[in-house]
Amino acid sequence: MMKAVYLAIFTFALAAFGGAAMCLPGDEPTPDLLASQIRDQGFACSTPKSAAREVKASRPNEAVWILQCENDTYRMTVIPDMAAKIEKLRK
């Protein structure tokens, strides 16, 4: 009986807090993740090459990234729980 209780508590804790450890504010998204967001918003980015954070342009809760794709380069401002602000840069 106690094993079942501990298993239930462990399962609840894993569900409640397991994903949070993967999404800490200091974590940086991969170029693939940024490219996926770009594509979701209607822009083309078939093969992401690199992503570099613009530290000076970024603010708390607004990270600015330069995403270089095979076809174009984009500046995107990523804001939690909102669509990214995307600006297509010259190639």
Higher-pLDDT residue of 86, 29: 86
Residue 38 lies in a domain: yes
Residue 76 lies in a domain: yes
pTM of the model: 0.68
Residue 20 lies in a domain: no
Exposed, middle or buried by CB within 10 Å (0-12, 13-18, 19+), for 51?
buried
- When divided into structural domains, the chain yields a total of 1
Average model confidence (pLDDT) across the chain: 79
Residue 52 lies in a domain: yes
Residue 76, domain extent: 25-89
Residue 16 lies in a domain: no
- What is the pLDDT, as a whole number, of residue 29? 84
**What contacts 10, CB < 8 A, 6 or more positions away?**
none
Residue 7 lies in a domain: no
DSSP state of 6: H
Residue 5 lies in a domain: no
Residue 32 lies in a domain: yes
How far apart CA 86 and CA 91 sit, in angstroms, is: 15
| Three-state DSSP state, 39 | helix
- What is the pLDDT, as a whole number, of residue 13? 47
